[in-house]
Amino acid sequence: MKKIGIIGAGVSGLTLACLLKKNTNYDVSIFEKDDFKIKNINGIQISPNALRILNELNFSSFDQKKLCKITGVSFFDHYSNLKIAKMSFEYLSDEPYITLNRSDLINFLINKFSLEDHIIEKEVLEIHEKSILFKDKKKQYFDILVIADGIFSNLRQKKIKPLYSGYSAFRGVFIDEKQSNQIDLWMGKNFHFVKYPINQNKNYSFTLVKKIPYIKNILNYDYEIKNLKENNKFYFPNLDNIVFDDLNIKMWPIYKLNKIYYGHKDAFFIGDSAHGFIPSRAQGAAQAIEDSYALYNLIKKMIFCLQNFLK
């Protein structure tokens, strides 16, 4: 039985763990330094390719009221508030593009495949070949190591590092009076504002991405910001019945890696640990799922070497 250590209990790490749990030949351990039970209200978008992978994990049993099948994207000019273009997703009716709350997906993966007993709340200090050194100075050995602990991972080679993109994001969730299946995107100079539904209960996620100077010492996704609209009125479109200042709004500087890095020897990097996508592409979660699937297939076929993964 192969022992596989996964560092990080995010979308990529949990997706890989679920795929491996379908096969009894693997002993899977997941290490997470943060409390994985904390709910993180954050909308994510899942492409048809990623959805096909999730369907192999019985995602068809997911509560359909907790997701939204997107029918299209509307583009607005921020300055005039006029719609300038619309993209229809009718051609995706059989394999839809969906949005949902990240926490709902995380909880589904954990519960569907009984992963809670496989998640160990321990901080990893470093990796060396096939071993993990923990903060408590204990060491554990595995046949395969997978690092999925995000763009700020300290486990990559030192020459691979995150760089500030010049943009920061502000995000939150609000309730509207009506249900929509559309993504709305307002575009301006050096910023954009996007809102989209994350379930069938009139809950929407919004993200404002704008160019601002580097802010030191914000290296996580939980930095709360007050009075966002008061200080950024110009950037918000005219949305009826929404009081943004009453919302719990998080801010984070957007980083990207100076180089894509998928690992070395028996250590594989996936998700944002390997490539940090800026949120304007809205495919971070989907790519994390696809990374997990590609690596899983190599492990299953016993051809798990880095050169095969890079192909």
- Pick the closest to residue 72 from 52, 50, 54, 99 (CA basis): 99
Evaluate whether residue 75 is within a structural domain. no
**Quick one: how far is CA 124 from the chain centroid?**
21
Look at the chain and report how many structural domains it folds into.
1
pLDDT digits (tens, 9 = 90+) for 156-187: 988 999 999 999 888 888 888 888 999 999 99
Whether 193 is in a domain gets the answer: no
- Residue 131: CATH number of its domain: 3.50.50.60
> What Å distances lie between residue 217 and 90, 164, 192, 221, CA to CA?
44, 12, 24, 12
pTM of the entire structure? 0.91
Q: Provide the sign of the torsion angle of the four alpha carbons 37, 222, 106, 102, taken in this order.
A: positive
C-alpha distances out from residue 296 to 13, 18, 21, 242, 273, Å:
11, 10, 11, 43, 17
Tokens of 217: 């010492």
Q: Which residues constitute the domain of residue 150?
A: 2-41+102-162+258-310
Query: Is residue 303, in this structure, part of any structural domain at all?
Result: yes
Q: Beta-strand (E) ranges in 54-123?
A: 67-70, 72-77, 83-88, 97-101, 119-120
Position 155 in a domain: yes
pLDDT (tens digit, 9 = 90+) per residue, 231-256?
A: 666 777 776 656 665 677 888 888 88
pLDDT mean across residues, the chain = 87
Q: Encode pLDDT of 74-105 as tens digits.
A: 999 998 989 999 999 988 888 899 999 999 99
Question: Does residue 176 belong to any structural domain of this protein?
Answer: no
Cα 199 to chain centroid distance, Å, stands at 17
Q: Is residue 26 part of a domain?
A: yes
Please check whether residue 126 lies inside any domain of the structure: yes
pLDDT of residue 231: 66
**pLDDT computed for residue 122 by the predictor:** 92
| Pick from 47-56, 166-175, 273-282: least confident | 273-282
Instruction: Flag whether 267 is in a domain.
Output: yes
